Structure 1
Amino acid sequence: VTSQGAVISATASPVTVNLGTLGTLGTLADDATATVSFRVTIDAGTTNGTVLSNQATVTRDGDTTGVRSDDNGTSGDGLNPTLTPVYTEAPTPLFDKTQTDSSETGSIDSNVLIGEVVTFQLAFTAPSGTTRQLTFADTLPTGLAYVAGSARLWRTSTALNASLNPGGINSANANDPVTLIDGVHLLQSGQTLSLALGNVINSDANAGTTEQYVLEYRARVQNLAGNAKGETLTNSATIRTLNTLGVEQSLTPVVASLSIIEPSLTLNKTVSPSALLSSGGATTYTLVVANTGNAPAYDVCITDPLSDSWTLGTVTATPSGTDAPTGITTEATDCGSDGLRVQVEVFPAGGVLTLTIPVSDTDLSGAPNDQLNNTASATWTSLPGATGSGSGLDAAGTAGTEDGERTGAGSGVNLYTVSDSAQVTINELNLTKTVDDTQRYAIGELVTYRLDISVPANFSVTDAVLTDALPEGLLYVGPVNRVDTNTALTNASLTDSASGTPPTLTITLGTLTNSAASAQTLSLEYGVRVANVLTNQFDTEPLENTATLTFKDPRDDNAEKTRIDAASIQLGEPQLSLTLDAAGPSGTLTNLQAGDVITYTLSLSNASGVGVTTAFDSLLSSVLPAGLTGVSDSLASTDNTNLSSEALSALLATLSIDADGLSTTSDGFDLPAGAVLELTFQAKLDVGVLSGDTIPATTANVTYTSLDGEDATERTGSGTPEVNDYQANDSAQALTIDSTVAFDKQFLPNTRTTFAVGEEVTYRLKVSLIEGTTEDLVLTDTLPAGLSYVGYTLGAGSGDSLTIPFDPATDLTVTPATGPSDTGQVVRFDLGTVVNAANGRRDDDYLTVDLTARVDNVTANQAETVLGNQAKLEYVDAEGNQTLHFDADGETDGNQPLNLTVVEPTVTLVLDQSVETLSLGDTVTYTLTLSASDATAYGVQLVDTLPPGLEYVSATGGTPSIKDQTLTFDLAQLAQGASHEITITARLRPDSVVGVSQPNQATLTWGSIPEASGDADSGRIGSDGAGDGLNNYATSQSVSLTPTTNAVIDATKTVTDLNGGDALAGDTLEYTVILENTGTEHATNVVFTDPIPANTAYVADSTTLNGSRLADSGGGLSF
């Protein structure tokens, strides 16, 4: 279709359009446009990913070189052809989102701190050609905020051009970013960011290069209540485009997730001795600060006002733990004015800081209520410094605000603070109960409690008894042991007993006597075990238990007195999670066939953070379903976190892959808190998979225990009883085997659709198979009346890889058995269950049946007769019985047959004779011209019967066989469109009767194929002669001549010297010749010849005939 001009060549490339004269006066006026549009059909067999390059050229008078078209209208990148990628299967969109940078070094990978700024990049790989109305769209979750002014865009190749040209990107060099203006280029609606590029053209057709647009921006983790340790911030990005119908479509969103990590400090304050006399003394406070969170704490301030009575000695700070605190200052003015003010710059997760604080006083008589209480506190922040490590766009906002770091200010979400107290009694016993509360206790783990009884100098009590009521979930193990080495403090007895449910522990000490001049402490330890009961879970409230000391005080008439202290433990559990995903050879799970390798990605992780303990004796397995066989030695570790190289090696040594899948050795492996293990392993689809079959999802399972080694008290993953729930599992995607069994039928060779009577035609029936198993394959070809079955050839595209259990003796049926048949024939090939073993190729997965039939020599088969051949394919797949009918024309309703058109050779005969009358004894020449049309004629035979009055002289164009007056000429074939000429020379016999006609009869016959016999199973011939008979390939012609008597011509010649007298040199001689017919018949075709005499020269243009000038004939006279 054109606005002006006409297509003058459209059968080959290039398509040519004659636009004629444009505009007026032979010129194209300003702003005038000529539009030419045309459609093309993409060739069948074009491979997936082929890029069609199309460029137009316009020429005009005076400019034969012309001007080439450009794909994007920007000549700076050259005049490039328009590119169109061809996809025979859905293309895999190349769009990705990654976190590329972070403002903080205290977080790793996707783990983020409150207030941290992260950098994201969205990369879109543009296919060759045009992508319509491309828009980046990225939706940030609540708690993640776009950093204003941080957006940039770059392209990796100048072959890219965007019609909206945001930020002037079309002028930028490759990989040079341009700044995007908020609200102009980068739009924000709620939490969604968008950037429109318009129509994007990629002028690079090289499949080996990648052309991308990359959008980069920053986002801040906000200081909001919803942002807490363990929360996941999932960020979803996509690409929106218009499809060919102008409908907007979006790619499946790509997700980038951030995990919030937080520090969590615990503070435990103890004092020893905890009992002093009013006359004063010395004691020591111990502060143990531990970070049980999963992130570093920054700018930690540890303060304690201490009692006014105390004189502070030298404070000792001892860092320890898996990652010890750094930057410790014991006199930190930035931490206030309390008696104790210690600052820690970086307090890593797992770090421990122990502060030893000696104090003393010479007069404690003024202590209120005979005791001194004081409280220590700790505060911290989520980022180092006031705004974190970053600067500029990477810096956090004001500390404590929504866009700043989280602090210990104590209000709103800024609750990074903790405290603990300790007391010193005056002139009284004191009881302190402690336990290591810096750790989480696993199910079945042994817990050691410590009871410290501080006794003032020279002090004694009687009937001392300790009781400890254990909470539900703890079991008493015992025994009770005195662990101090203080000989000055004695106890009369040490017996223990436990009774009740939950148990109460009773410890009898009797009389306690301190004979020393200073306070002394008696220390007892005993063990309890965390019971494997349902109430003990990861999120169970701390298990607190209270110890009570009762005794009689001789100073107060043996009055019974009581001291109480409590301690608690927090339970911990391993928290394993498991994911399993499958991917096919191309990264997707489409078009799967036998031999395809499925790659499974298994991710096993133990959660990080407070309360997570090591998973021990982990047994990981993945049993493959039927249809899959594991690939040995395919196990690989692709990523890991929080595992040393030694630990990783030891772990991998317990795993193996065999035909059945993934398994672990019986002793298993351990996975600490925060550890992440990513594994890949492979399995191959078996040759027995059926077309369209569904392979059940492969599952993975892990069981683990709370304690290392076999322990009857541990929690396991056995599932029995119910409390043993330490297991995790996941399933990958189910696999659907390709059901694309295709069926096609063509002539072989595929260049002809016309066939002659008796000719054999071969049909190729091609069945495209999956690599795998196709059951009960039956191929049926219905030959119409007019075609008869001849034979077949069975072929396998993949050779020995294809097994076809076909026995022609039992599996081939032809109904009726022989042809021709008025109803046609049905040919059925029962190919059985076909197994196509994988061979690493996809271009040979087919079988062929080359079926040969014959065009019958029957009356119905005449020129232009159409014989339609139907075929169908039946097989069984996972969905049941399937039937595919061959359809030669998908645009016409119904299943159209493959049509054959009958052609017949037509040979014409033209018979000419040189004369119609002939004198006795003279010769005549017959010319016979044979011309073939419509098809090639075979076995051509010309029979010419000379009349009795003629005798054969000679022939050209063939050597005849002669019998009496009959001449027979044979030609093997006469090609369509060809002609052949035969001449016969004969002499009229002298005894022929004058005036009696002599007729000559020529008959021509031919066949439709070589060696045709005219039978029904052979080619058509001319045995029935011309007319309505079946074998009517014949024609004839005849001519006649009339004999005459001989004609007699007398010639009289005279000469005259025009100069007079005797003939002298130089004279002109004139010859006169008189011709006279003295016979009884007219003479025809008379030729007179007179050679020029020697010693004379002919006078040009001097010859006349009956007074009329004749043209010269050269060296002699002939007319």
Structure 2
Amino acid sequence: FDAAAPMTVTEPFLHIGKTYVTAAACSATLFEDNFNDGNATGWSTSGGAWSVVDNAYHVSTAGAALAQAGSTAWSEYSFSAMLYSGDSDGGDLGMIFHAQSATQYYRFRWNRNAAGTAGSYVIERVNGGETAIGSAAGSYYDLNRWYHVEVRVSGSRFRVYIDGAPALDVTDASPVWTTGAIGFFASGQSSADFDDALVTRLDEAGCTVGAGDLVTYTLTISNQGQAIGHDLVITDAIPTGTSLYSYTFASSDGASGVTAEPASIPGATGNLVWNVNQLAPIDPFVTNNHSAITLTVVLSISPIIPAASLLTNQASLSYDSQASDGPVSVERSYSGGSHSTTVQTVDPPGLSKTVAPFTATIGQIVVYTITVPSTPITAALTTITVTDQIKPNLRVTETSIVANPDLVNPAVIFSGQQVTATFDRIEASAQAQVVVTGVVSNTSINQDGVVVTNTARLEYTDGIGTLGASHVLTSNQVSTELVEPVLQIQKSATPNTGLRAGDTVTYALTIRHATTSRSTAYEVVVTDVVPSVLAYVPDTLAVTSPFGTVVSTTVGNSLTITVTDYPTPSAPIYITYTATVIQAAEPSSTYTNTAFVRYISLPGTPDARTGSGGVNDYYTSTQATIQTAPLTINKTLDNDIYYSVGDLITYTVLIPLPTGTTRNLVVTDTVPAGLLYL
């Protein structure tokens, strides 16, 4: 006879999930649903018959069926879930992401033929049609088995991990959507199930952390099967720039414990590995409550973590069906899947620039101060270059970096108009200040009203966990307007006509700023040479100036008046003096003399603009004219009576000669017809 003894084979079924909370209480978790509450609240479906069965999301469908959840505003994320098919005729199952609606989304689709001999997986864009982004043939799912699938969505790059192993890594060259919700997909499935949906922040959507921060990660391992999982290996591949600070272990299985841990706590880096002896299931077994291990891992962010870093880590799980090798060295190994999260450091906010002064005259020093970063940030800037192309209106004279112990290997040089500053590192919360000193050059391009603008540039590359793309940031623009002094001079003489030797003439000079003058004139020098037919009267020179020190000198008829500084606006400078007409003055003559005023833009610098000529056009002049009295002539006829032919007639011509010199006097008298000169 034959006898049969029934036997039930059970297997452990462990799954890993991961999230974090930063020191600023920012959580990685965007969405989570294990359906243990028995409902699918928050999910919307299209096609197929969806329901929660045994605390998993079940669907039966002949055609395409979707279940969608989450926000269309989600950008970059890790989406992990468990997938199961019990349809012996094969079909498709998968996950959707960047979903806009039930007809617009990306999807990971996994196919199995009816014979169970072939299949493939593919990432597609669905938008009124199906466009394959990337695929792999020859891979099909087994029936009646749960798979752990993680989809990492980074912009237009999509990576799929199945049971913790890389399956697809593709990029959409013509991306349509860069944000979107998540969901499940099935087609031609009489029985498919989905469970443990978890969505966490990834890449540029990661929470922001700073140098020295502590980030608390929570790794949760659940046993959803009916057998003990043995020899658990929990791996957390942490990124460069982070290290293990501490961890705690808790388990609902009292017999569960850590048998090996990462070395050097605190301080461990790279792949952190914990070995755990076992995780037994809940007894008695239920589908809506599972035994679990909670591994709380605290990572420390490096104090020199670079800005613009993406710190992504992926946790994965493997385990066995037997302790050690089992009683007969036969066991099955399993994967508990994988899940990823990202924290990021801030991008550099840029650089700022200031200038002093806002207005400058020729020869004046202009100082630019470049601050990097423009505001302190919580990460370090590494291997950065600051450049500043100074306009040719200025001549660079000096560059420096303000001393700061938080600057690593600062250096600044200039060549011509190009200023370059480099730093190996600017520590977190620190700022570098690059000071560029120049002088407004005395060249023809610099005239009143010219505006000299300037910006600086910061060149940096993205930090850890990125492709290292280079970026250029431009500072705010600063401006300095050039201003110049413009002086006018006027001169008068009183009296200025009918002058004779011995007369006194008073000269008056007025120097003032023109209406277009916008800066102080320095070293204002007025020169005046009294005409040689006059003699300066000593001690009659009088100068009234509203500002500055006045220095006056006279040498003979040469007068020089210097005013050290003459701001604008100001009252005029008044100069008066007297001179006496001397004997050398000739009658009926005009005498003109010219007074000059010269000045400079700034004292004490060879770069000042002066009145020496050419571009140094700070000079102007004025003239005053005097006229001596004309000669008079008087002619009389003696004995003005009636004369007869032959009578003598006497004329008298009188020319009064003034005091002074009368040269080359010629008197012409034409005797009338009928008279004979004797």
Give TM-score scaled by structure 1 length: 0.35
2:506 to 924, 934, 940: 924
Whether 2:236 is the aligned partner of 1:622: answer yes
Q: Deviations over 1:468-496 (max 9, x none)?
A: xxxxxxxxxxxxxxxxxxxxxxxxxxxxx
**Counterparts of residues 884-963 of structure 1 (less than 5 Å):** 884=472, 886=474, 902-913=482-493, 915-916=495-496, 924=506, 926-932=508-514, 933-947=517-531, 948-951=534-537, 952-958=539-545, 959-963=550-554
CA displacement, residues 351-410 of structure 1 (integer Å, 9 cap, x when unaligned): xxxxxxxxxxxxxxxxxxxxxxxxxxxxxxxxxxxxxxxxxxxxxxxxxxxxxxxxxxxx
Question: Which of 53, 58, 61 is the matching residue for 1:228?
Answer: 53
TM-fit CA distance, 1:1019? 1.4
Distance 1:981 1:628 in 2: 73
Paired with 2:27 and 2:302, the residues of 1 have a C-alpha distance of 29
How far apart are 1:735 and its partner, in Å?
5.7
Distance 2:456 2:36 in 1: 63
Distance 1:912 1:636 in 2: 99
- What corresponds to 1:762 in structure 2? 367
Are the structure 2 counterparts of residues 945 and 654 from structure 1 closer, same or farther at C-alpha, using a change threshold of 3 Å? same
Counterpart-to-counterpart distance in 2, 1:664 and 1:852: 56
2:576 corresponds to 1:984:
yes
Aligned to 1:1007: 600
Query: 2:395 touches 2:417 (CA, 8 Å); kept in 1?
Result: no
Give the 5 Å matches for 1:66-465.
111-112=36-37, 139-140=42-43, 226-232=51-57
Distance 1:758 1:967 in 2: 29
Q: Deviations over 1:1061-1117 (max 9, x none)?
A: xxxxxxxxxxxxxxxxxxxx9xxxxxxxxxxxxxxxxxxxxxxxxxxxxxxxxxxxx
Cα displacement (A) at 1:1035: 0.8
TM-fit CA distance, 1:588 = 5.1
Give distance in 1, aligned partners of 2:197 and 2:67.
Answer: 22
Partner of 2:608: 1019
Question: What SS is found at the alignment partner of 1:853?
Answer: strand
Within a 5 Å distance, the mapping from 1:549-568 to structure 2 comes to none
- Which of 966, 972, 981 is 2:558 aligned to? 966
- Inter-partner Cα distance in structure 2 for 1:253 and 1:1033: 66
Question: How far apart are the structure 2 equivalents of 1:681 and 1:992?
Answer: 110
Give the SS at the match of 1:629: strand
Q: For the residues of structure 2 that align with 1:969 and 1:714, how far apart are their CA atoms? A: 117
The residue type equivalent to 2:362 in the other structure is: V
Once the two structures are TM-superposed, the CA of residue 931 in structure 1 deviates from its matched residue by 0.9
Q: Verify the 8 A CA contact 2:236 2:313 in the aligned structure 1.
A: no
Using the alignment, how far apart are the partners of 2:31 and 2:313 within structure 1?
28
Q: What CA distance in whole angstroms lies between the structure 2 residues aligned with 1:937 and 1:1041?
A: 31
Structure 1 residue 765, shift from structure 2 partner = 4.1
Asked if the contact 2:38/2:52 (under 8 Å) is kept, the reply is no
Rounded to whole Å, the distance in 1 between the matches of 2:479 and 2:355 is 13
Contact 2:367 2:437 in 1 (8 A): yes
Distance in 2 between residues matched to 1:829 and 1:593, nearest whole Å: 28
Per-residue deviation, 1:962: 1.8
Kept in 1, the 8 Å contact 2:528–2:596? The answer is yes
Report the CA distance shift for 1:664/1:1035 in structure 2 as closer, same or farther (over 3 A): closer
Task: Say if 2:529 and 2:595, in contact at 8 Å, map to a contact too.
Answer: yes
Query: CA separation of 1:835/1:731 partners in 2, compared to 1, >3 Å: closer, same or farther?
Result: farther
Q: Which residue of 1 aligns with 2:220?
A: 603
Separation in structure 2 between the aligned mates of residue 879 and residue 663 of structure 1, nearest angstrom: 24
Q: Does the CA contact (< 8 Å) of 2:307 and 2:345 recur in 1? A: yes
SS in 2 for 1:916: coil
* Alignment-mate amino acid for residue 608 of structure 2: G
Contact 1:580–1:601 (8 Å) recurs in 2:
no
SS in 2 for 1:953: coil
Taking the aligned partners of 1:990 and 1:737, their CA distance within structure 2 comes to: 91
Measured in 2, the distance between the counterparts of 1:225 and 1:250 equals 25
Distance change (3 Å), C-alpha of 1:669 and 1:837: farther
1:987 is displaced (CA, Å) by 5.7
What is the rounded CA distance, in whole Å, between the counterparts of 2:348 and 2:523 in structure 1? 49
Are 1:604 and 1:678, in contact at CA under 8 Å, matched by a contact in 2? Answer: yes
Q: 1:1030 to 1:826 in 2, by over 3 A?
A: closer
Sort the Cα spacing of 1:950 and 1:110 in 2 relative to 1 into closer, same or farther, 3 A.
Answer: same
- Give the 3-state SS of the residue equivalent to 2:572 in structure 1: strand
**Per-residue deviation at 1:664?**
7.5
Structure-2 change in CA distance of 1:621 and 1:1006 (3 Å)? same
Mark the CA change 1:789 to 1:580 in structure 2 (over 3 Å): closer, same or farther. same
Aligned to 2:425: 835
Q: Which residue of 2 aligns with 1:854?
A: 439
Deviation at 1:782?
3.7
Q: What is the CA–CA distance in structure 1 between the aligned matches of 2:543 and 2:397, rounded to whole Å?
A: 42
User: Equivalents in 1 of 2:223, 2:467: separation in Å?
Assistant: 42
Query: Aligned equivalents of 1:113 and 1:855: distance in 2?
Result: 78
> What is the alpha-carbon distance in structure 1 between the residues aligned to residue 621 and residue 50 of structure 2?
109
Rg comparison, structure with higher value: 1
Shift of 1:945: 3.3
1:194 — aligned with what? Answer: none
Q: 1:600 and 1:615, CA in 2 relative to 1: closer, same or farther beyond 3 A?
A: same
Separation in structure 1 between the aligned mates of residue 76 and residue 459 of structure 2, nearest angstrom: 41
Once the two structures are superposed, the pairs formed by residues 673-684 of structure 1 within 5 Å of their partners are 673=282, 674-684=290-300
Query: What is the total number of aligned residue pairs between the two structures?
Result: 461
CA shift, 1:604, in A, is 1.8
- Partner residue, 1:803: 408
**Displacement, 1:251?**
6.6
What is the alpha-carbon distance in structure 2 between the residues aligned to residue 605 and residue 231 of structure 1?
15
Instruction: Quote the residue 2:397 is aligned against.
Output: 790
The CA distance in 2 between the partners of 1:582 and 1:96, in whole Å, is 7
State the SS of the aligned residue for 1:935.
coil
1:210 equivalent in structure 2: none
The 1:880/1:700 distance shift into structure 2, 3 A limit, reads closer
Aligned to 1:631, the other structure's residue is in SS state strand
Distance 1:141 1:861 in 2: 70
Q: Using structure 2 for the length normalisation, give the TM-score.
A: 0.54
SS at 2:405 equivalent:
helix
CA RMSD of aligned residues (A): 5.4
Counterpart Cα distance in 2 of 1:588 and 1:636:
27
Deviation at 1:1004, TM superposition (A): 0.7
In 2: Cα distance, 1:110 partner to 1:95 partner = 16
For residues 784 and 730 of structure 1, the distance between their equivalents in structure 2, rounded to whole angstroms, comes to 56
Q: Distance in 2 between matches of 1:636 and 1:862?
A: 72
Give the conservation status (yes or no) of the 8 Å contact 2:485–2:513: no
Unpaired segments of 5 or more residues in structure 1? 1-91, 100-108, 119-137, 143-189, 192-223, 240-248, 260-536, 539-575, 716-720, 815-824, 890-897, 1046-1080, 1082-1119
Residue 790 of structure 1: CA displacement? 0.8
2: distance between equivalents of 1:641 and 1:617?
15
Q: How many angstroms apart in 2 are the aligned matches of 1:783 and 1:829?
A: 11
Matched, 1:1032 2:612: no
- In structure 1, distance between residues paired with 2:371 and 2:223: 55
Is the CA contact 1:577–1:605 (under 8 Å) kept in the aligned structure 2?
no
- The answer to whether the 8 A contact 1:706-1:714 is kept is no
Matches within 5 A, 1:458-497: none
Once the two structures are superposed, the pairs formed by residues 578-589 of structure 1 within 5 Å of their partners are: 589=206
Taking the aligned partners of 1:944 and 1:653, their CA distance within structure 2 comes to: 104
AA aligned opposite 1:909: I
